[in-house]
Structure 1
Amino acid sequence: MNITVFGGSGFIGKNLVESPMLNAEIQGVSLRDASWKKTAESADIMINLVGKAHDHQGTASEEDYYFANVELVKEIFDVFIQSDAKLLIHISSIAAVEEFESEEPLREDSVCHPFSPYGKTKKQAEEWLMQQILPENKKVIILRPPMIHGPGDKGNLGLLYKIISKGLPYPLASFDNSRSFLSISNFCFFISAIIKNENQMETGIYHICDDEPVSTKDIINIIKKVTNKKSPNLSVPKILIQGIAKAGDILPLPINTKRLKKMTGSLLVSNEKMKKALKITNLPASAHEGLENTIKSFG
């Protein structure tokens, strides 16, 4: 079996290409390579990781997002249709549904409220793919993960690690939340299980995440455990933190309103549909185990 991973040079792609869970010939393909379409022709399965994620510096235009998250998806789909590949796994994002807060677990039929150009274009790509007519021998599986983390991750977990590992007090203890994450090991497990059991699955959209949600306080405690730091937690008044975050929307501060919402808001995701389709009871790694592995890699 030949698996082609579009976007194989990124954080997720490198981990997927090197994963021992996928017992197959795997090649990462860059769309910057002029011959990528010809290279992909021999694939039995295609996995699309290409896309533009959140732009915290604010330098990307809406056109940049549309090109990376919609137009390139259309090109990859055209190659998929013309090839002998039977399965296209497209990695979307839970941001296509909700980007900041949801107290109830988000399901595949939840009403979508994408906010940013990232979330909106991810949703546009999903809608376009679901409108396409597929030959009987081909399937398209669209996956919506929350934040994926693991060795090489440079997201908000890294920011928390820098604060706690230096022994600095954590100033957001007044916020109480619960969020769904996805460790890279569980991500690779889902991909492997889909490939092995694709006959059991139907074309459509599926949410994937760790089984257990965790709070930011849980993550702080894991960082303290890994780094052996005993820095205090400070319950700074929420209104003060929110004011600083608003200033960060204008000034080059380490926190702004979007980052604050992601660090302190609750965003829950349900993976029941996927687990039922694959007949999975438990994932290989718990949410805490996955986070601990990621945090250890920061040292």
Structure 2
Amino acid sequence: MSKPLIKVLGSSGFIGKSLTDFLNKKSFQVEVLSLRTVNWRNYFETDAHTVVNLIGKAHDHRGVATEQEYYYSNFEIVKDVFEKFTSTKMNLFIHISSLAALEEFESGKPLTEVDLCNPQSLYGKSKCVAEEWLMSQEIPTNKKLIILRPPMVHGPGDRGNLGLLYKLISKGIPYPLASFENSRSFISIDNFCFFIEQIIKNQDKMESGIYHIADDEPVSTSEIIQIIQNITGRNTLNLSLPKFIVKAIAKVGDVIPIPLNSKRLKKMTSNLIVSNTKIKEALGIEKLPLSAREGLEKTIRSFRDL
């Protein structure tokens, strides 16, 4: 029996490379397609069973990306790809959206798929528009559309905000945000890839629609610091600077390129918890491969080993 063929779009980034490696090691064939290829539509029609769409423009922390760039990458391309998918014999379209389409900075309760969208950045708004368009399309009876909203994905090969925090702590620089207490959802790349595998294998158990994926447990920034300290052996001091001083420094970072700005401060100190109950119940998953802490430990060890 031949292995199911999975077409991955946007395989050059951290998530795409990790997912491609993961699926190749499992019982799948993987075919990657870059939309930078001339006449990419001519290469779209294959015997693939599933399309995983990872194409999109991520957060631009330097603030130089335009609204047009976000909407082209996160919406217009999605339309082209999905319309091409519906004209093929492929059965399953997995679109990787983002929690930012729903909420980006703070929520007082675990976020579910029925909550009203409140995107605040061009990134989140463009992701939200793409979701709305996809959900408005008529899905052929022999096809299925699964939209996934992950929070921050981390793992070996990704630096991001975790990498910034690691640099501070591993160099013995005191952490200045200890006066903030928070709890946030993340997802390790291992659990991300596990969800994709289970969706492909068990698509008959799922209805077309939006699903949240996340680690089972939220984690506080203070817990992440503790993990970094344990792995690096650095017993760095935590500074409980007054919140108004930290916020003032962040505002300076909005103008001058320093490591801390207002957006990054919100992401590092606010509460943003995601419920993954819907997808776990649909797929019959009781426990993910890694706990949130185990996933973070694996990622942080990869920083140390670079």
Instruction: Please show how residues 248-263 of structure 1 align to structure 2 within 5 Å.
Output: 248-263=253-268
**Helix, strand or coil: the match of 1:211?**
coil
CA contact 1:179–1:268 (8 Å) conserved in 2: yes
**Helix, strand or coil: the match of 1:19?**
helix
Q: Report the counterpart of residue 41 of structure 1 in structure 2.
A: 45
Deviation digits for residues 146-178 of structure 1, max 9, x if unmatched? 000001112100000000010111111100000
**Helix, strand or coil: the match of 1:252?**
coil
**Helix, strand or coil: the match of 1:60?**
coil
Q: Report the counterpart of residue 15 of structure 2 in structure 1.
A: 12
Letter in 1 for 2:44: A
Query: Partners in 2 of 1:259 and 1:244 — Cα distance?
Result: 12
Query: Partners in 1 of 2:28 and 2:42 — Cα distance?
Result: 20
In the TM superposition, residue 111 of structure 1 has moved relative to its aligned partner by 1.3
Query: Partners in 2 of 1:9 and 1:178 — Cα distance?
Result: 31
In the TM superposition, residue 37 of structure 1 has moved relative to its aligned partner by 2.2
Query: Partners in 2 of 1:121 and 1:234 — Cα distance?
Result: 37
Q: Report the counterpart of residue 23 of structure 1 in structure 2.
A: 27
CA contact 1:9–1:28 (8 Å) conserved in 2: no
CA contact 1:13–1:28 (8 Å) conserved in 2: no
**Helix, strand or coil: the match of 1:119?**
helix
Instruction: Please show how residues 85-234 of structure 1 align to structure 2 within 5 Å.
Output: 85-234=90-239
Gaps of 5+ in 1: none
In the TM superposition, residue 253 of structure 1 has moved relative to its aligned partner by 1.2
Letter in 1 for 2:241: V
**Helix, strand or coil: the match of 2:93?**
strand
Letter in 2 for 1:31: L
Query: Partners in 2 of 1:81 and 1:144 — Cα distance?
Result: 22
**Helix, strand or coil: the match of 1:175?**
coil
CA contact 1:92–1:142 (8 Å) conserved in 2: yes
In the TM superposition, residue 44 of structure 1 has moved relative to its aligned partner by 1.2
Letter in 1 for 2:13: G
Letter in 2 for 1:252: P
Query: Partners in 2 of 1:13 and 1:28 — Cα distance?
Result: 9
Query: Partners in 2 of 1:105 and 1:38 — Cα distance?
Result: 43
TM-score, normalising length from structure 1? 0.98
In the TM superposition, residue 6 of structure 1 has moved relative to its aligned partner by 0.4
Query: Partners in 2 of 1:287 and 1:255 — Cα distance?
Result: 25
In the TM superposition, residue 36 of structure 1 has moved relative to its aligned partner by 2.7
In the TM superposition, residue 100 of structure 1 has moved relative to its aligned partner by 0.2
In the TM superposition, residue 116 of structure 1 has moved relative to its aligned partner by 0.5
* Number of positions where the alignment pairs a residue of Structure 1 with one of Structure 2: 299
Deviation digits for residues 259-294 of structure 1, max 9, x if unmatched? 000000010000000000001111000000000100
Two-structure CA RMSD over aligned residues (Å): 0.9
TM-score, normalising length from structure 2? 0.96
In the TM superposition, residue 39 of structure 1 has moved relative to its aligned partner by 2.4
Deviation digits for residues 192-232 of structure 1, max 9, x if unmatched? 00001000101000000000000000100111111111111
> Is residue 55 of structure 1 aligned with residue 54 of structure 2?
no
**Helix, strand or coil: the match of 1:102?**
coil
**Helix, strand or coil: the match of 2:37?**
coil
Query: Partners in 2 of 1:108 and 1:36 — Cα distance?
Result: 33
Letter in 2 for 1:90: H
Query: Partners in 2 of 1:38 and 1:29 — Cα distance?
Result: 11
Letter in 2 for 1:5: V
CA contact 1:148–1:183 (8 Å) conserved in 2: yes
Letter in 2 for 1:6: L
